[in-house]
Every structure is written in structure tokens, then in C-alpha cells.
Amino acid sequence: MHDTTPAAVVVESAPLWVVSDMVQNGHYDVVIVMSEDDEVLGLLRRDAVLRLAPRLPEAPVRMLPLQRALEIEEATTLSQARALFDLDEEVQALLIEKPMMQGWTVLLRESVEELRREVA
């Protein structure tokens, strides 16, 4: 799949000011929030992090409203991704864990919608 989004990965207890620094310095568009047990809790968008960090710098990211994200298999096709988004309006991103702890591939809902319009 293409049209993936750069993502930072943080643990749920990370203070927002730390996440804000990561987003700004790493040029990340989204942040994947993980539990202490390495489970995906959800997704934060760059604009939300930058907007909330000055007001709530010490707040742990788990306290923020996270967008829903689903983990999917690497072999998932674009048509399967579209179907997953169609099934659940609350899912805003699909996540594929890269092998060998190389991070995550993030496919945002709006990217899939854009590809759908281009193909149509």
C-alpha cells in the first residue's frame, strides 16, 4: 500500500510536552499511543498535539481523546482497507507493524478516500 503517513510511537504515560517535541522535531503527522503492554490504544493527530500541548503540557497522552485505529496484516489490499473503513465510521487509521521493530505504517481514512476518488 502507498500513501502512508509518518508516525511517532509513544507510551500512554508520556507527557504531552514530550510528544509535542517529538512531533515538531520529527515532522510526524500522527502519534500512535501504546499501552504499557504494547497494545495500540489509539491515534493522535499532529494538530491536536500542537494545539493542546501549551495548555496541558504535563498531561499524559492517555488523557486526550484518541482516534480509533485498527491493526491490520501487511498483506491487506487497498480494497480490503476501504472495506474496513466502510464497516466502522469511527476507525480513522489502519496500522501495520513493520518487521524487526522498524515502526509502523499508517494509512489514514482520508488517504483511502482520496485514492477512491482518484480511481473512480
Domain for residue 1, yes or no? no
Domain count, the chain: 1
Task: For residue range 56-114, list pLDDT tens digits in order.
Answer: 999 999 999 999 999 998 888 888 989 999 999 999 999 988 776 677 889 999 888 88
11 has pLDDT over 60: yes
- Output the pTM of the full model: 0.87
Band (119; pLDDT cuts 50, 70, 90): low
Residue 104 belongs to what domain range? 7-119
Domain for residue 32, yes or no? yes
Domain for residue 98, yes or no? yes
Q: Which three cell numbers stand for residue 107?
A: 494509512
CATH number at residue 54: 3.10.580.10
Supply the pLDDT for residue 101: 63
55 has pLDDT over 80: yes
Supply the pLDDT for residue 91: 95
1 has pLDDT over 60: no
